[in-house]
């Protein structure tokens, strides 16, 4: 699941493959960009901003993409077979003499002026993995609505940028709070912000996300993806709910023993 660490890693891979090289080919497979040809322009850099990817191109242009739930960029050597999915899922192809970057299942793909990047990322809060990280500002934004459920507040990219469903569930478990607890009632909320930063920093260069310090594939995460399985801390079956606090279809996982709260939804499922 693409979250801030995944997007940071993707941006680094794109930067290493494309930056400071002229494009030898460009194929943007969305209707509004179908006639755009950036071949001959140099890629200046690729950077992450929260869950957004900004690929800056010579001439003051930025190719903006967002991975959302299952989007991905893959980088291939010349002649290497593309393996990221069927061709009809390809939304973007950027080629240099040395590499080809292929964007699969990209729900967001826009070309804008670099000077207008704030139009797509200016609303974001401090980036957990960015140079603008400001823990005090992130905490201020997180607590601005103290009655808001902490899980919902963590997912709001206007508070702090980079957290998705996995880290939402894992952070609430590590803090021993229900995802439905009002954020204003979270003990030591500054610790929550610091823990979020520490987890994303620890995982940004790892191929597999780990929050437990375990290397086994079935024990890398405390609760996420473990519905019905024993809690790794207390043995109680982990529960899941198919809706996040705002009603969107986002899975939340929690241990009812380690994270008790009467505000948890009544329709809990395994």
Residues designated catalytic? 2-3, 51, 250
What are the C-alpha distances in Å from 102 to residues 47, 124, 139, 258, 262? 16, 26, 37, 42, 47
Q: Residues 225-247, buried b or exposed e (16+ Cβ, 10 A)?
A: bbeeeebbeeeeebbbbeebbee
Angle between helices 165-174 and 189-203 (to 10 degrees): 130
**What are the residues whose beta carbons fall under 8 Å from the beta carbon of 182, sequence distance 6 or more?**
146, 147, 148, 149, 150
Q: Which residues pair with 254 in a beta bridge?
A: 239
Task: Give CA–CA dist 263/86, Å, rounded.
Answer: 43
R_g of the chain computed on alpha carbons: 20
What share of residues in the chain are helix, strand, coil (percent, to 5)?
Answer: 25, 25, 50
Backbone angles phi, psi at 105, to 5 degrees: 55, 40
């Amino acid at each position: 699941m693409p979250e801030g660490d995944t997007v940071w890693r993707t941006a680094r891979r794109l930067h290493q493959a494309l930056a400071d090289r002229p494009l030898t080919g460009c194929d943007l497979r969305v209707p509004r960009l179908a006639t755009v040809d950036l071949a001959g322009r140099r890629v200046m850099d690729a950077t992450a901003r929260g869950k957004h990817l900004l690929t800056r191109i010579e001439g003051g242009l930025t190719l903006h993409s967002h991975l959302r739930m299952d989007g991905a960029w893959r980088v291939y050597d010349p002649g290497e077979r593309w393996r990221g999915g069927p061709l009809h899922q390809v939304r973007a192809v950027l080629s240099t003499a040395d590499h080809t970057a292929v964007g699969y299942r990209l729900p967001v793909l826009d070309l804008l002026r670099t000077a207008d990047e704030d139009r797509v990322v200016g609303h974001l809060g401090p980036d957990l993995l960015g140079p603008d990280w400001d823990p005090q500002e992130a905490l201020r934004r997180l607590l601005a609505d103290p009655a808001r459920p902490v899980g919902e507040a963590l997912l709001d990219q206007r508070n702090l940028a980079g957290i998705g469903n996995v880290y939402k569930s894992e952070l609430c478990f590590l803090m021993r709070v229900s995802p439905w607890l009002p954020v204003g009632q979270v003990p030591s909320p500054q610790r929550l912000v610091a823990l979020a930063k520490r987890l994303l920093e620890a995982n940004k260069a790892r191929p597999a996300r780990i929050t437990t310090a375990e290397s086994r594939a079935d024990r890398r995460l405390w609760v996420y993806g473990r519905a019905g399985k024993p809690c790794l801390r207390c043995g109680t079956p982990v529960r899941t709910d198919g809706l996040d606090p705002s009603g969107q279809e986002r899975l939340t996982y929690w241990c009812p023993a380690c994270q008790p709260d009467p505000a948890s939804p009544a329709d809990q499922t395994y």
